[in-house]
Amino acid sequence: MSNELLLFDKVSKKLGGKPIIQEATLSVAKGEVVGIVGANGSGKTTLLRLATGMFYPDQGEVRVAGKVVRPGLLGNLPVMIGALIESPSFLPYLSGLKNLLLLASIRNQVDEEGVRETMIQVGLDPDLRRPVRAYSLGMRQRLGIAQAIMEDPQIYIFDEPTNALDTKGVEMFAEILAERVQREACVVLVSHDQGEIDRFCDRVYRVEEGRLFSLREGRVKSWRVVMKSLEDVEKAALLLKNVQMIGRQKGYPAVICQGEWETEAELHHYLSQAGIQLVEVQVNAS
C-alpha cells in the first residue's frame, strides 16, 4: 500500500507464555480509519501497544511510517504516534495544563500556545487551576484526547476514546477525527460501540483468540431507494441489509437500506441486475 503509515506484518506476541496475538497482518493508509472490535481479553489493547512501542513483537514486524519498531536502549519508539490507550493517567496534583506542558517538554513539538489551543478544542479551560485528581471522568477523557492530538502526529491510536463523554463530547471527538483524516493522518480505533464503528471506520477487523479477522472492507452507507412496487421491495429485502420501509414517495414505496456501494449508480446497477424496478436511489443524509 503506497500511502501506508502503519503496518503489522505477521505479528505474534506472547505474555506470560500465553499467545495473545497470532500472525496478525494489517495495514493502515493515510486518511484511513480502521476499527478494531473484539471481546474483553481478546488482544485488542495488546495490538495497540505493539503499534506504540509499549510492547515488541516476538515474531513478525511492526512498521510505523516505514520504520521497524525494535527494542533499543530506550526503546525504538515511534515518534509520529498520538495514543490514548485504556484510561488516561496524569499526575493527580497538577492542573490539566501543567500535565500537558510536562508531556510536551519531552519532545518539544508543541509550545504552550499550541497546548492551550488543544485544550480549548477538546472543551477544557487551560486556565482552570483545579488539579486533575478533582476532574470528572469526562474531563479526564478530554484531557487524554488532548495529549494524543496536541503534537499533531500522523498516526492516532484510540482505545475507547468516547468513554465517559457526553453527547457534546462525542461530537467534539467526531470533529477532531474528521479534521485529522482530512490532513491525511491515519487512525486505529477500538470501540465497543457499534454505532461509532459504523460511523467512523472505513474498514473493521475483529480480534478473536489473538487472530485478526476482516469484518468489513469498506464504509457502510445508508441509502434511500424508491421502487416501482411492493413486489420490488420484497425482492430487495431478500438481497439487501436492514431494509426498512419508510412510507411512500409520490405514490411509490420507499425504503432505507445499508451497503458499501460508493455511488448511487453502483447501487442502481446492482438492484437493476436483480430485476428490481427503481424510481430513485439516493444516499440517505439523515
For 89-98, write each residue's pLDDT tens digit.
999 999 999 9
Task: Give the pLDDT confidence of 166-185 residue by residue, as tens digits.
Answer: 999 999 999 999 999 999 99
Query: Mind listing the pLDDT tens digit for each residue in 211-266?
Result: 999 988 877 677 889 999 999 999 998 888 678 899 999 999 999 887 778 788 88
CATH 3.30.70 domain span(s) along the chain: 221-283
Q: Given 2.40.50, 1.10.3470, 3.30.70, 1.10.10, which CATH number is that of 221-283?
A: 3.30.70
Residues near 185 by beta carbon (within 8 Å), at least 6 away in sequence: 5, 30, 31, 153, 154, 155, 156
Partner residues linked to 280 by β-bridges: 226
Measure the CA–CA gap between 18 and 12, rounded to whole angstroms: 11
What is the residue whose three cell numbers read 476482516? 214
Q: How confident is the model at residue 75 (pLDDT cuts 50, 70, 90)?
A: low
Which residue is it, cell 481478546? 42
Q: What is the CATH number of domain 4-216?
A: 3.40.50.300
| From-to residues of CATH 3.40.50.300 in the chain | 4-216
Query: CB–CB of 2/171 below 8 Å?
Result: no
Dihedral sign for Cα atoms in the order 76, 78, 196, 214: negative
Q: Average pLDDT over the chain, rounded to whole?
A: 91
